[in-house]
Amino acid sequence: MQYYSLRHQAPAVDFRSATVAGQAPDGGLYFPECIPRFSPDFLRQLKSWPKEDVAFQVMQPYVGPTIPAAELARICAETVDFEFPVVPVTGQLAALELFHGPTLAFKDVGARFMSRCLGYFSRRQARAVTVLVATSGDTGGAVAHGFLGVEGVEVIILYPAGKVSPVQQMQLTALGQNITALEVQGDFDDCQQLVKQAFVDTAVTTHLTLTSANSINVARWLPQQLYYCFASQQWPHAEPPVIAVPSGNFGNLCAGLLAHVSGLPVAHFIAACNANDAVARYLRTGRFVAQPAVATISNAMDVGNPSNFDRMLALFAQNHAAINGVVSGCTVSDAVTSATIRRVYTELGYLLDPHGAVAFQALEDHLKTHPGQRGLFLATAHPVKFQQVVEPLIGRAVPLPESLRELLTQPTHSIPLEPRYEALREYLLAR
């Protein structure tokens, strides 16, 4: 499989080069040159397969010869080594819970797969690869956890002091081993700016083999198709589900669309957005206008100009009518999201996080006008990650999951860093 840049100004590359580079040199996203089709046998037997075999079958054509089969099988098994349950909430609608991974949000699958692929590719390298990444919260934890203990890879995470939640901070600073957390006395934009400067500083890039753990990396994007395959395995009805996806940068939804284009039966997709709804507007009007991001209570979806929109267009040959036949958009305000969390908890006994709540509401609205259909919404984060939003709405504490209780007893360590490039440069050159 070759990957081309969606800006068409860079040569096509294989999976290994696309993963190591992250982004194409012309600034475009990498996209597969052809979309593999799931075989009729694969679809017929899907329900009876262990999830690690499903993962291997789906990922193998994308990886091609760049990773030997036995190695890829091991990577796939480690990537999906937790549960992805479908939990009925009403007779018409169920949750696909994607928060049972180590950092309690769905980004674990992409981060685990990418980290293990990079670990494999760096094995033939004479020196360790250094992953340098800025985070506003969730991504850093998933990436750090994904790379924890991976040989030949050092991870340096920059996070803004005082601007991540207590749970997120623990997930960044309590891991140790090959993970270093730098606490930047600034905001997320400062962190991102510092990282960008390091990547273009030749003194640093000759001293260290730097790589990014960018969210647009194909090795993070492609394995998200697996959620939809696991949903299909557990779906008990003959008619395929409508699937509502809480969306920010649109990696997750685009991966679902990719699985569908490959042949996975899905009745319809809903792009569930908060106030950052440029794509939902595009779906309604045919015009895409990027907007500055606004802060909401589903903050992992606060993206004004989603990068994966280009991939969505590419999947449907830029054809608005074709996209609209498969996906519709829905915008859910913070006020409605809060009311949904409260109502679903008190009336149905199911606790949503703010991101899952946006998708729940979008799906419920759709089913009201399509009464014969049934659907799934993606529950992308554990409600405990958004305690500060959820607890006042339901009037009680959200118990900590076992894994988190353990983490909270670990010692934490971070290195304070001034928000000046000279400070980061000095730190990196001394490693």
Ligand X SMILES: *Cc1c(COP(=O)(O)O)cnc(C)c1O
Class of residue 293 by CB neighbours under 10 A (exposed 0-12, middle 13-18, buried 19+): middle
Closer to ligand X by CB, 213 or 417: give it. Answer: 213
Closer to ligand X by CB, 172 or 300: give it. Answer: 300
Cα–Cα distances in angstroms (integers) from residue 345 to residues 297, 379, 382, in the given order: 17, 14, 14
Please give the size of the binding site for ligand X, defined by CB under 6 A: 15
**Which span (7-15, 151-159, 242-250, 416-424) binds ligand X, by CB under 6 A?**
242-250
Quick one: which of 181, 125, 174, 177 has its CA closest to 158? 181
Closer to ligand X by CB, 20 or 352: give it. Answer: 352
Q: How far is the CB of 263 from ligand X (least distance, A)?
A: 22
Is there binding between residue 251 and ligand X (CB under 6 A)?
yes
Per-residue tokens: 133: 């990444």
Distance from chain centroid for Cα 143: 10
Q: How far is the CB of 381 from ligand X (least distance, A)?
A: 3
Q: Which of 103, 212, 217, 252 binds ligand X (CB under 6 A)?
A: 252
Question: Please, which residues have CB within 8 angstroms of residue 369's CB and are 6 or more apart in sequence?
Answer: none
Is there binding between residue 269 and ligand X (CB under 6 A)?
no
Closer to ligand X by CB, 62 or 121: give it. Answer: 62
Q: How far is the CB of 257 from ligand X (least distance, A)?
A: 12
Question: Please, which residues have CB within 8 angstroms of residue 173's CB and are 6 or more apart in sequence?
Answer: 181, 183, 412, 413, 414
The values of phi and psi at residue 169, to 5°, are -60, -40
Region of 140 (left: φ > 0; alpha: ψ -120 to 50; beta: rest) is: alpha
Is there binding between residue 383 and ligand X (CB under 6 A)?
no
Q: How far is the CB of 239 from ligand X (least distance, A)?
A: 26
Q: Which of 101, 223, 248, 383 binds ligand X (CB under 6 A)?
A: 248
Is there binding between residue 160 and ligand X (CB under 6 A)?
no
Is there binding between residue 301 and ligand X (CB under 6 A)?
yes
Question: Please, which residues have CB within 8 angstroms of residue 145's CB and are 6 or more apart in sequence?
Answer: 102, 103, 108, 111, 112, 171, 175
Q: Which of 381, 384, 389, 428 binds ligand X (CB under 6 A)?
A: 381
Is there binding between residue 249 and ligand X (CB under 6 A)?
yes
Is there binding between residue 380 and ligand X (CB under 6 A)?
yes
Q: Which of 227, 250, 269, 282 binds ligand X (CB under 6 A)?
A: 250
Where helices occur in 164-216 by DSSP H, the ranges are 166-173, 188-199, 202-207
Q: How far is the CB of 69 from ligand X (least distance, A)?
A: 29
Sign of CA pseudo-dihedral 158, 164, 169, 172 = negative
Q: Which of 119, 146, 223, 246 binds ligand X (CB under 6 A)?
A: 246
Q: Which of 16, 355, 366, 374 binds ligand X (CB under 6 A)?
A: 355
3-state secondary structure of 109: helix
Beta-sheet strands, E only, within 65-224: 86-88, 93-97, 129-134, 153-160, 179-184, 209-211
Q: How far is the CB of 23 from ligand X (least distance, A)?
A: 16
**Which span (1-9, 87-95, 187-195, 243-251) binds ligand X, by CB under 6 A?**
243-251
C-alpha–C-alpha distance, residues 170 and 46, integer Å = 38
Site map 102..141 versus ligand X, x via CB under 6 A: ---x-x------------------------------x---
C-alpha–C-alpha distance, residues 393 and 141, integer Å = 26
**Which span (14-22, 68-76, 155-163, 249-257) binds ligand X, by CB under 6 A?**
249-257
Binding site for ligand X (CB under 6 A): 105, 107, 138, 246-252, 300-301, 355, 380-381
